[in-house]
Amino acid sequence: MRRAIDAALTQKPADFDAFLKLMEASGYKVKHGKHIKLTGPGQQRGTRLDTLKGDHTEQAIRERIEGVRIVVPAGGNAPEPEQTRFNLLIDIQEKMRQGKSAGYAHWARSFNLHEASKTLIYLQEIGVESYDELLEKAAAASADFKSRNTKIKAAENRMDEIRELQIHISNYSRTREVYKQYKAAGYSAKIRAEHEADIILHQAAKKYFDTLGLTKLPTIAALKQEYAVLLAERKKQYAGYSEARETMKKLALARANADRILGIDGKAPETKTREAIPPARNRVK
């Protein structure tokens, strides 16, 4: 089992889940739970990873995948960092030349050499030379897009609140005298019948203020100023929104193609996104 683990790790799985899939592909059954268990061919009972000790426990394997634990081969020395550097571009070119790996064969059923060449050119253009760099750039692009999308939505939600608050403040101010008369007359049915629309608007405004927990109403001028700041923030985030989305999609596709070409059984991020560009909003005049 230790030899099988070492063999799986030489294939440089992207993460622990990818490592477990490599173990399954080599004939081991994986049982998930509080402790990971592996059952090899002919074994009656599974073996917990944490019982293997040393460089083969679950934590040790995770550290080896992340590159924070270097295992010295039996009878050898630890490789120099430059010797272990994973040059993604060279590996992709080699796989394209060979066209023999299982991963490449699977990839070729859905794609072609032209697509592989486009991926290679794109990685060269953005200066990515290692798989780790590709993962980092893909994660950073995804985080950038999500951050912009979140900020845009937050700004627009608050802008909606400001517009609604302005309407209620206007209604409240306009109907205040009528409501005072209505209240002073002991909530007279006659006055209500004469001014029902204004009274309803006034009560709706008061109820809305209560839901917001407002004890003092902001001025319209202050709300317009806040709205202008939010509008500027939304415009700032929109400036790079489409570009950030395209960069995220391109890097996700490049990683997915690199995984297929190199036969890496990792989980590539989705290239589609449910977030759509939020529609343009009305401005406070």
Rounded Cα–Cα distance for residues 107 and 120 (Å) = 15
Share of the chain above pLDDT 90, in %: 34
Q: How many domains are there within the chain?
A: 1
**32 within 8 A of 39, measured Cβ to Cβ:** no
283 falls within a domain: no
29 falls within a domain: yes
Nearest to 20 by CA among 60, 68, 53, 61: 61
Nearest to 148 by CA among 252, 251, 277, 280: 277
51 falls within a domain: yes
22 falls within a domain: yes
The DSSP result for 50-113, as a single string, is GGT-GGGSHHHHHHHHHTSSPPPPTTS-PPPTTTT--BHHHHHHHHHHH--SHHHHHHHHH--H
- Range of lowest pLDDT (190-194, 207-211, 240-244): 240-244
pLDDT digits (tens, 9 = 90+) for 32-57: 888 888 888 777 788 888 888 788 88
pLDDT at 31 > cutoff 60 = yes
Helix or strand run (H / E) with residue 244: helix 241-262
Question: 266 is written with which tokens?
Answer: 């990792």
Which among 98-107, 118-127, 166-175 has the top mean pLDDT? 166-175
Nearest to 140 by CA among 55, 30, 250, 216: 250
53 falls within a domain: yes
- Residue 128 burial by CB count (10 A; 0-12/13-18/19+): exposed, middle or buried? buried
241 falls within a domain: no
195 falls within a domain: no
175 falls within a domain: no
Identify the pLDDT of residue 33: 82
pLDDT digits (tens, 9 = 90+) for 131-185: 888 889 999 999 999 999 999 999 999 999 999 999 999 999 999 999 999 999 9
More confident residue, 67 or 35: 35
Rounded Cα–Cα distance for residues 240 and 190 (Å) = 59
Identify the pLDDT of residue 39: 87
What range defines the domain where residue 53 resides? Answer: 2-66
